[in-house]
Amino acid sequence: MRRPGSRFGGRLEPFSHVDLQLYAGRSLDIVTQAELVTSFAPVRADFALSACGSAMVEAADHLAQEDERSNRLFLLLLEGLRTLALSPATPSAVLDGYLFRLASVAGYHPHLDACAACGAPGPHDVFTIAAGGALCPDDAPFDAHPLDPAVTGLLRRLLGGPLSDQRDAPEDPRVRRAAAALVASYLTYHLGRPLRALELVER
């Protein structure tokens, strides 16, 4: 983004939260004024944090509709970047919470308790990505694998809590990896393509 001599170079860095004034050009809008709100410089300065930040921005960009306001998406992205800027011990857990909540904001709310097909109260131990969550014994495919209750518990915390709760995730790394893989598959399935930036995220 930054070009030497660019009028707004220092303010238009990746991850920067800026207040822009745009002039509607013929094909592209032209920036006429830029106020820096928050630079999120710590996210830019650290490889692990910027990998997670890139995945957050990529997912939000993929879901945002041009010329359509989405306050929930915007606020979730701000919360994600703010939490990363606090240099969490496990940035990838913050990212997982963000991605799982983002799926919900985008209309693909993962059902973790009641059956995603018939609404029967849970907990149910089968989770299928295509159905959008947990399935009761009547609706579960016969060959479905039950989910480890520890993984379901972590998914519930990822979806329900503020992102700052994921900062120092004390979870068993095996449980965290299983939950991360499920969140990534869930998003890939519902967004229709994998997030490129996820390849850079260390688990």
CA distances from 138 to 2, 146, 148 (A): 56, 14, 19
**Residue given tokens 């920067």 in the structure block:** 16
User: Is residue 136 within the footprint of Zn ion (CB under 5 A)?
Assistant: yes
Residue 118 contacts Zn ion per CB under 5 A: yes
Q: How far is the CB of 129 from Zn ion (least distance, A)?
A: 16
* Residue 126 is a binding residue for Zn ion (CB under 5 A): no
Q: How far is the CB of 144 from Zn ion (least distance, A)?
A: 12
120 binds Zn ion (CB under 5 A): yes
Q: Checking phi first, is residue 158 left (phi over 0); if not, alpha (psi -120 to 50) or beta?
A: alpha
User: Which residue of 31, 78, 117, 150 would you call a contact of Zn ion, by CB under 5 A?
Assistant: 117
Q: Which of 76, 85, 95, 115 lies at the binding interface for Zn ion (CB under 5 A)?
A: 115
Half-sphere CA count of 1, side-chain side, radius 13 A: 11
Task: Please name the helix (run of DSSP H) or strand (run of DSSP E) that holds residue 47, with its range, or none.
Answer: helix 47-63
Query: Of residues 46, 58, 125, 139, which one binds Zn ion by CB under 5 A?
Result: 139
- Tell me if 114 contacts Zn ion by CB under 5 A: no
